[in-house]
Structure formats: structure tokens, C-alpha cells
Amino acid sequence: MRKTPRTDAVWERIAADLSLEPDVEFSTLARELEDELNNALEKINRMEKAGDMMVQHFYTDEPRSVMWEQSKEAKP
């Protein structure tokens, strides 16, 4: 199974219906994916802020707070 099922589906739709405009189809998909990415990043940021508050209030020993900071990934 491929890792890009939605992109593959757009290609299949374009191949099946030559009246479709590829640039319109793919720009629509790109906007949907970007919206989903932004929503996911916002959720990650909220969760990290909650984690920061938990570390600040519950973990007084440095190793755990360092572990928390290391666990957060860099995001675009």
C-alpha cells in the first residue's frame, strides 16, 4: 500500500475524467492537506503547552524536565 492514497486518488480521478483540470484538483488537495497540517500543529502546540505546565507544577527534579524538553520535536 502506498503512503499517498489521497494523491493517488486525485491522479486516478484525472486519468478517468480527462475534463478535470489537474492544477485545480491538486491545488484543492494541497489546501486540504495544509489545513489539516495546520490544525495538527495547533493541537501539538496546545499539548506541549499543557505538558510544559505539568512539568512546571509537578516535576521539581531536573532530569524529568530535561527529558520533557528533549521529547518535544522541532516543527516547521
pLDDT number for residue 19: 95
pLDDT number for residue 76: 55
N-to-C CA span, the chain = 27
Q: How far apart are CA 9 and CA 14, in angstroms?
A: 9
Region of residue 65 (left: phi > 0; alpha: psi -120 to 50; beta: else): alpha
For the chain, list residues with pLDDT below 50: none
